[in-house]
Amino acid sequence: MGSTNLESNKLEMYEFGPFEEDEGFQIGFLIGQRFSKLIQNRLYTDLILQNQLLPFAQLQNSQTLIHTLSQTNKNKFPNYWNELKGIAQGSGVPFLNILLLNFRKEILPFIPKTEEYPKEEDINDDCSDILVVSDSMAVAVHNEDANVALVGHTYLVKVKLSNGTTFTAYTYAGELPSCAFGFNNHGVAFTLNSVPPCEEEIVGGAIGRNFVSRDLLEATSIEDALARIHSSEASVGHSYNLIDTRTRRILNVETASRNRISVHEIGEIPFFHANMYLHLQVKQAI
């Protein structure tokens, strides 16, 4: 069912699947079980989770937002919701902690800054990419920057699904595969860049970005990936670099709430994307 490949000072890859039933939960459970120590340690050392998200979740006025996020994402992506439940059970940590971790970007803008719960900056200097497509090469170079809490708390999973899709995903401990980068056996790959919209651009309780990127791992073509992004109804915007390894196409897709989207096809001129909107007209935090 599963195998591991762990060498000193190397990123671990865990390969498993497929499953005949309850696939979503089983995927999450095996990941949670295999990487339980990494997940537990990340939760313990993640200051944004400990100092902002968990205290906020105890407040009465947080319940509507958390409940709406939960119901919206559970209804649209029941299998991925079951993966979250599996991760929590497999790793032996409270489901609330896993939930807050995966909805981090959708919740943080709504946490009030008070003396009791001062905000720590969730700095938008995350990942960046350089993309080029020419007659002689098609290249996507990705720099995986992230919060310091992720240092030593990542792993690779290679999952074979019952529908014939196999995906490989670089995964943050405790989160759905993958809010970083991944690829599958249909020739579809992607990398991600965080973008910082203003609070007025965020729709509370809509679809979480981790659920959208998890869905991309099952895309059967670059057109299918684009369609999945189009229909995502996301709460917070994101930048997706979609790659078709078979046709040598790369698209940069910037999104915002209310299904706003802009697509830029990569060509011979090198294209650099970091953590600001470049072609979608959105009010963004500076």
Same domain (yes/no): 139, 6 = no
Give me the CATH number covering residue 104: 1.10.439
Question: Are residue 167 and residue 251 in the same domain, yes or no?
Answer: yes
pLDDT of 95 higher than 50: yes
- The confidence score (pLDDT) of residue 171 equals 96
- What's the domain range around 22? 2-110
Residue 48, sorted as left (phi over 0), alpha (psi -120 to 50) or beta, turns out to be: alpha
Do 141 and 93 belong together in one domain? Answer: no
255 in the same domain as 156: yes
Q: What is the CA radius of gyration of the chain?
A: 18
Q: pLDDT category, 9, cuts 50, 70, 90?
A: low
CATH number at residue 150: 3.60.60.10
pLDDT band at 8 (very low <50, low <70, confident <90, very high): very low
Q: Is residue 284 part of a domain?
A: no
Say yes or no to pLDDT of 252 above 60.
yes
Positive or negative torsion for Cα 160, 163, 169, 175: negative
Looking at the structure, do residues 83 and 174 belong to the same domain, yes or no?
no
Is the domain of 136 the same as that of 44? no
Q: How many domains does the chain have?
A: 2
Q: Are residues 248 and 163 in the same domain?
A: yes
Q: Are residues 14 and 106 in the same domain?
A: yes
Mean pLDDT of 54-71: 96
Which of 110, 140, 175 marks a domain boundary?
A: 110
100-115 pLDDT, tens digit each = 999 999 999 999 876 5
- How far apart (Å, rounded) are the C-alpha atoms in residues 113 and 120? 9
Q: What is the pLDDT of residue 4?
A: 47
- How many helices (H) and strands (E) would you count in the chain? 10, 12
Among 142, 138, 118, residue whose Cα is nearest residue 129? 142
| 101, 135: one domain | no
Residue 99 lies in a domain: yes
Q: Does residue 144 share a domain with residue 83?
A: no
Euclidean distance between CA atoms 39 and 189, whole angstroms: 25
